[in-house]
Amino acid sequence: MAHLRLAVLASGRGSNLQALLDASEAGQMNASVVVVISDKEKAQALERARKHGISAVWVNPRDYRGKEDFEAVLIEVIKGHKVDLILLAGFMRILSSYFVRQAGIPILNIHPSLLPAFPGLNAQKQAIDYGVRYSGCTVHFVDEGVDSGPIILQAVVPVFPDDSEETLAMRILVEEHKLYPQAVQLLSEGRIRCAGRKVIISGEGEVDG
Ligand code: GAR
């Protein structure tokens, strides 16, 4: 079982980052976050990384002329930390196909809806406005589209009639914090492979010993 070195890209609060740090420290995930990168100087995610003695890097998009120049720096930082896996955790920028190709390692994203429903921004609001009775979260591979890559894991939560965007977001977040470390653990165990769009998880559904 390989111990994975993770780069986490986050723009804000970083509660998913925190869940990953906690799972790693508790030995529930055979992986360590080695660098956190943000496009926002004041992101709480950077603060969380520093508290854990983890390299915290702010890359200011305004310092670069174009998206590729900005993304080239992200790649440079990631490569400098000998990372096995890139995790997007509330990174609120769409990465280009240049980034996906240059990375050369798997990239995962967590999204607060049951994809392919409600991709893009404000997924929880989209779910409430649409009137679905269930929503949830999805961990998926990042491909060259928006929230469109092969789905690794999903978790479902109910949507209640009196839900606000915030109450639904919090209910989904509880599941996100369990799902992301689980997906990383499956990868570290070498149990995940892609067959076209489908993700095959070996041992799934088998009864333990
Ligand atoms: C999470 O709900 C994550 O799924 C979502 O942003 C939040 C980040 O929270 N991501 C997206 O909407 C990506 N399109 P966090 O900073 O506390 O982890």
pLDDT of amino acid 208: 55
Pocket of ligand 1 contains residue 110 by CB under 6 Å: yes
pLDDT of amino acid 62: 97
pLDDT of amino acid 209: 47
User: How far does the centroid of ligand 1 lie from the alpha carbon of residue 62, in Å?
Assistant: 22
Per-residue pLDDT of the chain (209 residues; tens, 9 = 90+): 799 999 999 999 999 999 999 999 999 999 999 999 999 999 999 999 999 999 999 999 999 999 999 999 999 999 999 999 999 999 999 999 999 999 999 999 999 999 999 999 999 999 999 999 999 999 999 999 999 999 999 999 999 999 999 999 999 999 999 999 999 999 999 999 999 999 999 998 766 54
Q: Ligand 1 atom closest to Cα of 112?
A: 4
- From the centroid of its chain, how far is CA 144? 15
Pocket of ligand 1 contains residue 108 by CB under 6 Å: no
- The rounded radius of gyration (Å) of the Cα atoms in the chain is 17
Residues 20, 38: Cα–Cα separation, whole Å: 16
Pocket of ligand 1 contains residue 188 by CB under 6 Å: no
Q: Which residue out of 3, 52, 81, 111 is catalytically annotated? A: 111
> According to the CATH classification, is domain 4-200 in 3.40.50.170?
yes
DSSP string, 75-128: HHHHHHTT-SEEEESS--SPPPHHHHHHH-S-EEEEESS-TTSS-SS-HHHHHH
pLDDT of amino acid 1: 74
**Residue linked to tokens 């041992």:** 203
Specify whether 111 is catalytic. Answer: yes
The domain segmentation of the chain, as residue ranges, is 4-200
pLDDT of amino acid 16: 98
State the helix-helix crossing angle for 15-25 and 44-51, rounded to 10 degrees.
20
